[in-house]
Homo-oligomer: A and B are copies of this chain.
Amino acid sequence: MRLTFDDTVESFRSTFRAWLGENRPSEEEMTADPAVSSAHLPGWARRWTRRMFDDGWLVPGWPPERGGRDAAPVETLVYLEELERARVPRTTNPQGLGIVAPSIFEFGTEEQVSRYAMPILRGEKSACLGMSEPGAGSDLASLSTRATAEGDGFVVNGQKVWTSGASHADFCFLFCRTDPDAPKHKGISVLLVDMDTPGVTVRPLPHITKPEQTDLNEVFFTDAVVPAANLLGQLNNGWALAGASLAHERGMVWLGTVMELESTFDRLAAEAREILPRLPAFEQAHAADQIVRCYVDVQAAKCLGYRSFAKLARGGSAPEQALMKAFCSESHRRLHLVGSELHGDGGLDVWDARRGEQAWIEQYFNSFGGTISAGTSEIQRNIIAERVLGLPRG
């Protein structure tokens, strides 16, 4: 155990920090044209992705031809630390870069790589993930969107829901049922579906705090024709592909999460320092205690993340992944609850003009996205209990 990294790692950090200072998108251009969904690529974002790709900073651990520089895991870690510190997003299409592109590299044809994966890396295309359905949320295996082989392709019919960024994405990484007669896990395939395919329609889902604007959508497929060349990997091998795809997302996602926890906590503590002196003693102590508990959570999440990273970096497995997912998203939720309660009746006000962002109470409701999507907290606990701790399936 040690607190600091080797000099070589720190020198890698300096190199990136210098490059970042010179090449980063400015605050002004980012706020002037913000990304309004998780597959929206504003002009600055397209340019920024391309610049990172060209200079080998997009995914440092990948080879240069894929926008990287064969960096070691610990180097990727400090790279992410620097991006977070500079408050520069690595991408405005995280699922495209983090899940879709690597899955295509792993399972796709050369043509699929050049038509779909490389454009993501160059900031030319964005992707959304078509997984959840009205009847299949946590339970992917129950999906019922059908893709029927017809001629030289598939005809897709069905509906997806909670599809982040679908209204901006160029294509969809679509999980669909290609063999309705096989056991549930064995009849699923992945298609790459251009969103402008006739028969694909997107309906934004009005959201709990901002009905007028949303990242989430329903996507309807009505006799949408998809060429056979857009089948990713083997037919009916989608289940294995889903596991592998989502695994790409893990690894170091925790770092961004932890750094967001830290900056949220800093904001909470700063506001508390203004508010607490005005409270009666008992309530002051109570509020302070709530905030300190959040601090313990945040620091625990951070230490747990670094501990888990150290295990992975040594080639071991890190059972903390499911644990980090559940604990960080729940800590995030708790931070916002404590934030809204800290403000007493002022916590009921929406859209905090001073902070220029949603109020704590709105963000509290939004934070359930973290404990529900990408495997609910309940699913994560099942995973911990069964896969990590070896408890028998019920």
Contacts and interface: CB of A to CB of B under 8 A. Distances in A.
A115 interface: no
A166 to B, nearest CB: 34
A281 interface: yes
A349 interface: no
A284 B282 CA distance: 9
A296 interface: no
Interface string A281-301: 110111011000000000000
A394 interface: yes
Nearest to A292: B282
Interface residues of A, number: 8
A90 to B, nearest CB: 41
Interface in A269-291: 281-282, 284-286, 288-289
A350 to B, nearest CB: 29
A289 B287 CA distance: 11
A217 to B, nearest CB: 32
A381 to B, nearest CB: 16
13 contacts: A281-B281, A281-B285, A282-B285, A282-B288, A282-B289, A284-B285, A285-B285, A285-B286, A285-B289, A286-B286, A286-B289, A289-B289, A394-B394
Q: Which 9 A-B pairs have the closest CB atoms?
A: A285-B285, A282-B285, A286-B289, A281-B281, A285-B286, A281-B285, A282-B288, A394-B394, A282-B289
